Amino acid sequence: RFAVSVFAVLDSSGHIRDTRFERTEIRSRHKLSYEEAQAVLDKKTSIDPETDDALHALAALAETLREKRKRRGSLDFDLPEARVVLGEKGKPISILQIQRLESHRLVEAFMLLANEAVAKEIKRRRVKAIHRVHDKPDTEKLDDLRARAALMGLRAGNLADQKQAGKFLAGLKGHLLADVFRIGYLRCMKRACYSTEPIGHYGLAKDDYVHFTSPIRRYADLIVHRIVYQHAKLDDTALATAADHISLTERNSADAEIDSKIIKLLTHLQRQLDRKKPETYTAMVTDVRH
């Protein structure tokens, strides 16, 4: 499989010591699912000694990178997510909670590493590109959330301070209202988008960030590939227009995804009522309105 790759040398503290960017041809010796990789990490199965050792080494390094991100104030909400299982003709047959595995977090850690390394290379070359940016949250909403936390006897601190916000969210682990305040904080945040100005990514606590790892499904990644690997010099106006356009189409597709999931969920619940066989679900009230 032809690819473009980032080779990074890291020290034991997770700092990047060297990077290079190459066009590559990848031949996989093993094609593991997340569940199969997790079984190796849990020492429930073995692929071969070399692969097992590599996976464990990657997992340890991914944990180091994750801790480093947390210290900088990166926000990890880790909220439960539902998946609707569809049967014939697209009819929903069950609702499952998605399990986030260590193998998922492992891949995520190195995906973020690649995106950041490419962003730093673009800055080093002083060329225009499309960056993935995330602005600071709404301060008025944060003040309101802090007041709500105080009513519940929780000290949120200054939520406008990224490190304090991260500490507050991490400290909610195991608390009865953890999801209430995590979702509350999420609602204070602005949407990430694409821009020609590298203002950084607030949620990930990164000064330099681009999208690079999914060129098949994201046009921004393809543009970044052309700039880094083909040394393309793209017109500023064309880049800005593309950034605005793909930000809009991303919002549209995300909203459509949410709407389609809600429709399938409601269809599944309605069918249970029609058949007079309602299932019982454990739920958390996260908001009360007039």
Which of 188, 209, 205, 206 has the alpha carbon at shortest distance from 197? 209
Neighbours of 3 (CB within 10 A): 10
pLDDT of residue 193: 96
- Say yes or no to pLDDT of 287 above 80: no
Question: Mean pLDDT over residues 141-156, rounded?
Answer: 91
- pLDDT band, very low/low/confident/very high, at 142 (cuts 50, 70, 90): very high
3-class secondary structure, 71 = helix
- Say yes or no to pLDDT of 180 above 90: no
3-class secondary structure, 43 = coil
- Say yes or no to pLDDT of 215 above 80: yes
CB 119 within 8 A of CB 210: yes
pLDDT, tens digit (0-9, with 9 covering 90-100), for 77-98:
777 788 889 998 888 988 888 8
- pLDDT band, very low/low/confident/very high, at 132 (cuts 50, 70, 90): very high
pLDDT, tens digit (0-9, with 9 covering 90-100), for 17-53:
999 999 999 999 999 999 999 999 999 999 999 999 9
- pLDDT band, very low/low/confident/very high, at 107 (cuts 50, 70, 90): very high
Residue where the block lists tokens 């919002």? 251
Which of 145, 143, 123, 140 has the alpha carbon at shortest distance from 206? 123
User: Given phi > 0 = left and psi -120 to 50 = alpha, else beta, which region is 276?
Assistant: left
- pLDDT band, very low/low/confident/very high, at 289 (cuts 50, 70, 90): confident
pLDDT of residue 169: 87
- pLDDT band, very low/low/confident/very high, at 224 (cuts 50, 70, 90): very high
- Say yes or no to pLDDT of 284 above 90: no
Q: Could you tell me the pTM of the whole model?
A: 0.88
Task: Quote the CA–CA distance of 264 and 255 in Å, as a whole number.
Answer: 14
pLDDT of residue 24: 96
CB 219 within 8 A of CB 123: no
pLDDT, tens digit (0-9, with 9 covering 90-100), for 235-268:
999 999 999 999 999 999 999 999 999 999 999 9
Worst-scoring range by mean pLDDT, 142-156, 160-174, 242-256? Answer: 160-174
Share of the chain above pLDDT 90, in %: 66
- pLDDT band, very low/low/confident/very high, at 230 (cuts 50, 70, 90): very high
Residue where the block lists tokens 């590298």? 198
Neighbours of 202 (CB within 10 A): 20
133 - beta bridge partners? 193
CB 116 within 8 A of CB 65: no
- Say yes or no to pLDDT of 202 above 80: yes
Question: Mean pLDDT over residues 134-143, rounded?
Answer: 92
